Amino acid sequence: MNILLLCAAVIPAYLLGSVPTAVWAGKIFLGIDLREHGSGNAGAANAIRVLGWKTGVPVLLIDMAKGWLSAMLPVFFNLAEPGSPLLVNLQIGTGITAIVGHIFPVFAGFRGGKGVATAAGVLLAIHPLLTLSCLGVFLVFVLVTRIVSVGSMSAGIAFPIFLFTLFDTPSLVFKVFSVIMAVALLITHRNNIKRLFRGEEKKLF
């Protein structure tokens, strides 16, 4: 494996993740900093809530695309054999880098979103069927509760459960990653959990 090519993949992965789609959309269309409105989160859900569906949905798709492109960089750079555990591990590495970039974006003062949409894009690149199954869980919980955070946490918890029971992967790292992602989602949504218990969590519609 070419270490220089790996470094060349990691750097653009972070920069892709750092593109603050929601922040820029808020400034372009309403002249506001989205982080000072709604839930205060620089993510797609708050963009939909504050900026509306016509702006928020493209923000969501772009944030997912950031993750997908970042996780596909090892494939584009031909860093490992297709279908090999090493390739999956490298995709996880560049994917995590993009998620970190979304949460701590260099282009927005290191104050970003929770990384849910970007993480979904990463998973879509690595394991599409598993990702679509988790997306189904997300949609069901959002439609039932009308609360995005409930859908996000439910999908995050479903991720390792589905991977260990319904799907498979040649990469042990991916299995560990699935558990870490589920825990990380709960940690990043700790304020949402507090608001849920107080009955103060904002509904999407």
> What are the backbone angles phi and psi of residue 41, rounded to the nearest 5°?
-95, 135
In-domain check, residue 75: yes
Write the CA distances from 38 to 23, 58, 168, integer angstroms.
13, 18, 39
Q: Give the structural domain span for 147.
A: 3-198
In-domain check, residue 205: no
In-domain check, residue 168: yes
In-domain check, residue 52: yes
Question: Which of 104, 94, 99, 105 shows the shortest CA–CA distance to 10?
Answer: 94
- What confidence tens digit (pLDDT) does each residue in 61-107 have? 999 999 999 999 999 998 889 888 999 999 999 999 999 999 999 99
CA–CA dist 179, 181 (Å, integer): 5
pTM of the model: 0.87
Q: What is the mean pLDDT of the chain?
A: 92
In-domain check, residue 204: no
What does the pLDDT average to over 14-40? 94
In-domain check, residue 44: yes
In-domain check, residue 203: no
In-domain check, residue 90: yes
At 59, is the pLDDT very low, low, confident or very high (cuts 50, 70, 90)? Answer: very high
Tokens representing 203 are 């509904």
Tokens representing 142 are 């959002």
Give the chain's domain count.
1
- What confidence tens digit (pLDDT) does each residue in 114-130 have? 898 999 999 999 999 99
Pair 78, 40: CB distance under 8 Å: no
